[in-house]
A and B are shown apart, each in its own frame.
Chain A
Amino acid sequence: MVLKIENVSKVFADKRAVDEVNAELTNGVYGFLGANGSGKTTLMRMLATVSSANSGTITYHGEDIRKMGDRYREIIGYLPQHFGYYKNFSVEKFLFYIASLKGIEKTAARQKIADLLETVNLTDKRKVKMGKLSGGMKQRVGIVQALLNDPKILIVDEPTAGLDPKERIRFRNLLAETAKDRIVLLSTHIVSDIEYIAKEILIMKDGRLIEKDTPQNLLERIQDLVWSVEASEAEIGYYQEVFKVGNIARKSNGIELRILSKEKPAGNAINVPVNLEDLYLYYFDEGVGA
């Protein structure tokens, strides 16, 4: 199962939203990481056939997804960033409606809906109107609708936005469980969403794909750049001005700064293990000198 993105670009009137992106995707979770406006959503929408590329092609098993039409739509599941729903429909009615639009027979749909609602712990809410659900519950219904057709390609755009930490963990685990036999494309700007589940991370910046590698390899590239420095309150400003400063932790014995720098930022600085937050800071915090 190969989804191939070749030289894909998307230009809006005044902006090159996606710029010559190339990637080859097989089974597993791919985390698209980038700041707001980096082109993640535009790329996701092209992969979900909501939008088309101005140039380049997206192929599935060598066939252009635009030419595949409903054959492609049959094998994808999509959860948009802003998930709409008919608020007067009950959860079950809404899911049956989407199932029928996905061409799933009623009997099969009934079973699938029951199973998936059980998985996301929403069985007792199946008769509740969509408009009455909390944000987290709506997102869970969103992922259920995306999984109804057992998609070979699951595309989820910023799925954890607005969820509390518990919901985020539940959602992340659900994605990891479902990723076994499919391509899961997850776009986010929250690094913890993909830290443990992504097979590869694709870093997007200004519409370009600047990195595509395993989390481990990406972290290895910056492993000597992360430092922990103990500082006084008065020194914080100095460090923020000169270095890329991540966490500022106030501890009982003083303040601990997490700094990204090629050189040792202070005499008492200690090299510490890197995490994806450091990686994010490394690529996206351009406002601070290093």
Chain B
Amino acid sequence: MDKEIQEYLDSYKVDFPNEEEIESSIEYIMAEAVPKARTAHLFQQRAKGLIGNCARELLRFGGLFWGLNVLFLLLGVITLVTYKTDPYLTAFALSPLPFIIGILEILKSKNEGLIELEMTLKYNLQQIFISRLLVVGLFNLVVNIVISSICVVVIPDVIFIKLLLSWTIPYVVVTGLAFLIAMKLKGNGASGTLLAIWFAVCYGLLQVNDIREMIVELDIMPAAGILLAGIVLWLINMRKLKRIEIGREYHGA
């Protein structure tokens, strides 16, 4: 019986591989395994780089950016609380302002003639622009959330979803359009010009009753359509930023 078992097991015996076979197996496994490890490492490095870049850019934003943002935030809160303005229209008008002000910071390399140098650094112009965009975009989002929260607290009968829609649309669409225009504009007046345009547009639109009503009463489907258009604008912007990558000249992106 033991012999039978021994023979049976012998049929499954695997010879110990020679040195060459071991080496080639290791090489094969390394070739397959290393890229995965490298991909994970690369992703980790990129994420670390992006967070570091965002922190650095945030710390170097100028006083004008913070000052104007505080000013507009205060004005928004005062008009809401003191003058009882329409919360939806107020949120609509205020929502893209931090971003429009932030264009000054996002494009400061262009305004100060640092584009060429920054293209040659480890974290190059594309990465710098993206981190500044991210910081300004997130800051804008936080400001909008703060304004919405104040509205909800101060005005109990406000409808949250309507409020959300009233600032999400300009936040996505107007910022996308503003950035597209800012990249084309020469000189460092992009932020101021776009602020003036936005104030004029708001003033003009909000004079017309039908438009005011449309903004307040916008249904979810048309809103989704407009938001989609905004996302397309941002995809175009990202594509333009991507073109700044190594070896491509920056001509207003």
Which chain A residue has the least Cβ–Cβ distance from B60?
A: A97
Binary interface profile of B, 220-253, with partner A (CB < 8 Å = 1, else 0)?
0000000000000000000000000011110000
- Residue from B62, B116, B121 within 8 A of A98 (CB atoms): B121
B120 touches A48 (CB 8 A): yes
Once the chains are docked, how many angstroms separate the CA of A80 from the CA of B128? 19
Beyond A50-B249, A66-B247, whether A84 also contacts B122 by CB under 8 A is: no
A21 to chain B, nearest CB (A): 16
Q: Is A239 an interface residue (CB 8 A)?
A: no
Instruction: Please classify how large the interface on chain B is, using the bins under 10, 10 to 19, 20 to 34, 35 or more.
Output: 20 to 34
Q: Is B147 an interface residue (CB 8 A)?
A: no
Chain B residues lying within 8 Å of A85, measured Cβ to Cβ, are: 112-114
Stretch at the interface among A22-30, A71-79, A206-214, A227-235: A71-79
Beyond A51-B249, A66-B246, A69-B246, whether A78 also contacts B113 by CB under 8 A is: no
Interface residues of A in 23-74 (CB under 8 A from B): 45-46, 48-53, 66, 69-70, 73-74
Binary interface profile of A, 87-104, with partner B (CB < 8 Å = 1, else 0)?
110000000011011110
Q: Is A86 an interface residue (CB 8 A)?
A: yes
Beyond A84-B114, A85-B112, A86-B114, whether A73 also contacts B121 by CB under 8 A is: yes
Chain A residues lying within 8 Å of B195, measured Cβ to Cβ, are: none
A136 to chain B, nearest CB (A): 18
Once the chains are docked, how many angstroms separate the CA of A46 from the CA of B116? 11
Q: Is B141 an interface residue (CB 8 A)?
A: no
B120 touches A49 (CB 8 A): yes
A78 touches B120 (CB 8 A): yes
A52 touches B56 (CB 8 A): no
Chain A residues lying within 8 Å of B119, measured Cβ to Cβ, are: 48-50
B139 to chain A, nearest CB (A): 20
The secondary structure that dominates the A interface is loop
A86 touches B108 (CB 8 A): yes
Q: Is A82 an interface residue (CB 8 A)?
A: yes
Chain B residues lying within 8 Å of A70, measured Cβ to Cβ, are: 122-124
A73 touches B249 (CB 8 A): no
Which chain B residue has the least Cβ–Cβ distance from A157?
A: B116
B215 to chain A, nearest CB (A): 39
Q: Is B158 an interface residue (CB 8 A)?
A: no
Interface residues of B in 77-124 (CB under 8 A from A): 108-109, 112-124
- Residue from B117, B123, B128, B249 within 8 A of A78 (CB atoms): B117
Once the chains are docked, how many angstroms separate the CA of A73 from the CA of B119? 9
B114 touches A74 (CB 8 A): no
B112 touches A87 (CB 8 A): yes
Which chain B residue has the least Cβ–Cβ distance from A81?
A: B116
Q: Is A83 an interface residue (CB 8 A)?
A: yes
Chain B residues lying within 8 Å of A69, measured Cβ to Cβ, are: 246
Once the chains are docked, how many angstroms separate the CA of A87 from the CA of B188? 14
Chain B residues lying within 8 Å of A52, measured Cβ to Cβ, are: 246-248
B251 to chain A, nearest CB (A): 11
Once the chains are docked, how many angstroms separate the CA of A53 from the CA of B119? 16
B121 touches A102 (CB 8 A): yes
Once the chains are docked, how many angstroms separate the CA of A102 from the CA of B119? 11
Once the chains are docked, how many angstroms separate the CA of A89 from the CA of B49? 23
B120 to chain A, nearest CB (A): 4
Beyond A69-B246, A84-B112, whether A100 also contacts B117 by CB under 8 A is: no
Beyond A51-B249, A52-B248, A101-B128, whether A84 also contacts B117 by CB under 8 A is: yes
Once the chains are docked, how many angstroms separate the CA of A98 from the CA of B118? 8
Once the chains are docked, how many angstroms separate the CA of A82 from the CA of B113? 8
Binary interface profile of B, 2-38, with partner A (CB < 8 Å = 1, else 0)?
0000000000000000000000000000000000000
Chain A residues lying within 8 Å of B118, measured Cβ to Cβ, are: 101
Chain B residues lying within 8 Å of A48, measured Cβ to Cβ, are: 119-120
Beyond A49-B247, A52-B246, whether A73 also contacts B120 by CB under 8 A is: yes
B164 to chain A, nearest CB (A): 37
- Residue from A84, A102, A103, A149 within 8 A of B116 (CB atoms): A84
B238 to chain A, nearest CB (A): 18
Chain A residues lying within 8 Å of B113, measured Cβ to Cβ, are: 82, 84-85
Once the chains are docked, how many angstroms separate the CA of A76 from the CA of B113? 20
Which chain B residue has the least Cβ–Cβ distance from A45?
A: B116
Most buried by B among A73, A84, A88: A84
Chain B residues lying within 8 Å of A98, measured Cβ to Cβ, are: 117, 121
Interface residues of A in 207-223 (CB under 8 A from B): none
Once the chains are docked, how many angstroms separate the CA of A228 from the CA of B246? 51
Which chain A residue has the least Cβ–Cβ distance from B246?
A: A49
Which chain B residue has the least Cβ–Cβ distance from A145?
A: B117
Would you list 18 pairs from A and B whose C-beta atoms are within 8 A, ordered by A residue?
Answer: A49-B246, A50-B116, A51-B249, A70-B122, A70-B123, A70-B124, A73-B120, A73-B122, A82-B113, A84-B116, A85-B112, A98-B121, A100-B52, A100-B56, A101-B122, A101-B123, A101-B128, A149-B122
Q: Footprint of A on B, CB under 8 Å? A: 49, 52, 56, 60, 62, 108-109, 112-124, 128, 246-249
Which 3 A-B pairs have CB atoms at the shortest separation, nearest pair first?
A52-B247, A84-B113, A84-B114
